[in-house]
Every structure is written in structure tokens, then in C-alpha cells.
Amino acid sequence: MPETPPIPPNQQLVRAIGRWSLTALVVNSIIGSGVFGLPSHVVGLIGKFSPLAVLLAGVGMGVIFSCFAEVASRFQQAGGPYLYARTAFGRGMGIQMAWMLFLGQAAAPAANANLFVIYLGEFWPHARDPLPRALILTILIGLLAFINVRGVRAGTQVSNFFTAAKLLPLFAVIGMGLFALRAHPGGIPPGAPPAITISTWLQAVLLLVFAYGGFETALAPMSEAKDPRRDTPFALFTALLVCTVIYALIQWVVVGVLPDAAHSERPLAEVARIAVGSLGATLIAVGALISFYGYLSAKILAMPRVTFALAEQGDFPKAFAAVHPRFHTPYVSILLFAVLVWAFALTGEFKWNVTLSAVARLLYYAVCCAALPVLRRKQPGDARFRLPAGNLFAGCAVLMCAALVTQVDFGQSLILLATIVIAWMNWLVVRNRKIPDRT
């Protein structure tokens, strides 16, 4: 029978993440590299209908967000999707989802770290050389690891700062784009539009899932949230609304301003250049650097709590549940995640990391949404937030994930098979182990 983890929140950790800090963490976990590059790719797939695709993807992700909101409102422990899957479907599925979550959310920040170096190359060309690149990645990731080991409050404050800092250039792009639309209406040039099919729509939505994804990271450190069962649904829905508005407006101005948006490598910078000249493009490049590093800060704050939760439930070596006696942080798990992101960033290309992250996300999104009706049967009345027609929402979310999986290029994701095998071996080792008593 599936086990329900009975462990109360670890009293050594500090509950320092309030409602608005949690909301900022969700936004920071979502907005990263995608907003700076994906608008062009989506235009290339479905042309002038791309703003509509952004809104539809937001609605679709709203189904997934809603399922997560109810499921998350049942828990106040660390672990996020790992804990949900474990409680609903048992230890084996929980471990599989933990490994998928860890894989996907190590690949995504690694992709952002790579983009940071690429954009930095515009100001310092030698940044892309092997030795400077390795040093930059080491400093970027090492500094965030140091801050987060020193305390969850410090990590939360850094995340809050970067959330505010990354939103400013995005709103600036929207403002400059609207100005450019009034002064120089341009947009998609005359000529043959892209051939729009069901497949191209699905491909566009898959790309946008990457842009809207990552919110699940913020659900991992719930042992350090002040009132996670109440605050998580609020944070998820508020963040989704903010991100949908920003993404839709940015897509609109990109389509409306750029004469050849589908072939623009840096669409936001080009919108700014058309609106106010080279200074605008430079400011957006700086904004991109801030966004990439902010996204990285959110991941290093939240994701180590997954290995902490694994160890807390007896599914990982107990060393990963170690809490620093002075700073009250899971320092072993933080250092492990930082090293893994550093290794992925150093050895993997941006496209490889993005593909890996997108596939892993679809898998654990489907499992966590499927957990909703199971948890309703197993734990009736435990949800702080109850989703109307929740079972229907869960079924739609699973079907949507299955449809999007058909558009994935698995040729670049063979590492997923290795991850599944490793997770299965992990389960074989711990399947008869009792949950440690930490009361």
C-alpha cells in the first residue's frame, strides 16, 4: 500500500518564507531564459497567432497549476512533487518523480547559466573562452550556494530582489514596444505565412510549457514556509496571472514591432533597439543577465529541499537531511545541487539542457495531477484549497501532458532512461526501509 509520510516538519529549519516571498519565488522560478528567446520560435511556428498561443498555453498551464494548488495545500513538508507522488502512489513512484524533478530542475538552471555567459560575451567577448567560462560559472553558482548555506532568509531576500529586478526590464520592453507600435507599426512582413497545423500548434505550446514551467521548484521548501497550505494556492495563481500577462504582451509587441520576428535571435533587444536605439538594446541585454541569474538563484534556494526530503523520508542517505547547526539550512543538499548544476552547465549545451528539462517536466506534471483524485480518496478533507471539478481538471491535465509528449524529440533525451534506471535501483535499495523517526 502507498505510504503516507507521517513526519512533521523538521523543527531545525526556519519558517521564513511568507506569502509574498513565496509568490516572488514562484515568479522567479518561472521567468528565466524562455521569455528572451522563445517569442521568435513561437512566431516561426504559428506566425501572427502566437499571442493567442501564449494565452491558450497560459489557460492550459492553469489547469496544471490548479491541480498542483489543491495537492500542495495538503502538505507542509519539504519535497514538492516528490512528496505528492510518494503519498499518492507509494515509495517507488515518489523516488522516480524525485529523480525526474531533480534532473529537469538541474538542467533548466544550467541552461540559464550558459545563456548568462553567452549574453555576457556581448560585453566581454572572452567570456565564452573555455577557461573564463569555467571560472564565471564557478563564481556564479558558488556565490549562490554560499548565500543559501548561510540561511534561508538570505536566500529568500536574494530571490525577492532578482524577481523585482527582472520584471523591470520586461515591463520596459512592453512599454518601448507599445511606443514603437504607435510610431512605426511594422510586424510580420507580407509573404507566405508559416503552414499552421495541429502539430505546429502543439510544438508551439510545448515551447511555451517550458516558458511557464518551473513553478514546481518553489513548492519544494515548504518546511521553511510560514503557512504553506494556505499560501501555496495564492502564490501559484498570482504568479500564473502575472506571467501570462507579461508573456502575452511581450509576444504581442514582438509580432507587432519586428519586421521579421521569426528569425530574430534576440527579439526583446531588437524591439528595444527599434524603439529607443542601441541604448535600449544594451539595457535589455543587462536585464537578460539579471533574469538568468535570478532564475538560477530561485533554483538553488528551492531544489536542494528535494534531496533533503528524500533523506528525511528514508529514501536517500541520511547525510542529505543534515541541517547546519548555526545557519539552520540543509547545507549538504545545497552543495550537492550546486555542484550538479555547475557540472550540467559546464558540459551541456543550452538546447540539450532545455530539451531534458521539458521532457522531465511533462512526466512529473502528469503524475502530480493524477495524484489529485487519489489523494481525495486517501485523505478526504485534508486539502486547504479544494478545486471545483478537480477530477475533471486532473484528467484534462494528464491528457494535455500526454499530447505534448508526442511532440518531444527523444533523441536528445536518452539520459532520461538512465535516470529511470537509477531511480529504480534507488527504490530497490530502500524499498523495505522504514521512515526515520525525527520527532
CA dist., res. 269 & res. 206, Å (int): 24
379-429 tens-digit pLDDT: 888 889 999 999 999 999 999 888 887 776 665 567 778 888 999 999 999
CA distances in angstroms from 321 to 116, 155, 332, 420, 433, listed in the order given: 31, 18, 8, 23, 16
Confidence band of 160 (pLDDT split at 50, 70, 90) = confident
User: Which grid cell sits at 237?
Assistant: 495563481
pLDDT value at 5 more than 50: no
Question: Is-contact 26 218, C-beta < 8 A?
Answer: yes
Quick one: CA torsion of 211, 212, 216, 217, rounded to 10 degrees? Answer: 40
Classified as helix, coil or strand, 126 is helix
Q: Which candidate, 64, 78, 324, places its Cα nearest to that of 217?
A: 78
Evaluate if residue 199 carries a pLDDT over 70: yes
271-315 tens-digit pLDDT: 888 888 888 888 888 888 888 888 888 888 888 888 998 998 889
H or E stretch covering 12: none
* Band of residue 6 on the pLDDT scale cut at 50, 70, 90: very low
CA–CA dist 137, 348 (Å, integer): 13
Among the residues of 73-151, which ranges form H helices?
A: 81-89, 91-120, 130-149
Instruction: Return contacts of 46-50, CB within 8 angstroms, 24+ apart.
Output: 46/194, 46/196, 46/200, 46/201, 46/204, 47/188, 47/193, 47/194, 47/196, 47/262, 48/187, 48/188, 48/193, 48/255, 49/196, 50/204, 50/251, 50/255
pLDDT (average), residues 84-104: 90
| The three three-digit cell numbers of residue 95, written as one number | 523516488
> Taking all residues of the chain, what is their mean pLDDT, rounded to a whole number?
84
Q: Is the pLDDT of residue 269 over 70?
A: yes
| Res 4 pLDDT > 60 | no
3-class DSSP state for residue 314? coil
Cβ atoms of 194 and 200 closer than 8 Å: yes
* Cα dihedral across residues 16, 22, 24, 29: positive or negative: positive
Contacts of 61 (CB under 8 A, 6+ apart): 208, 209, 212, 213, 240
If one compares 347 and 365, the residue with the highest pLDDT of the two is 365
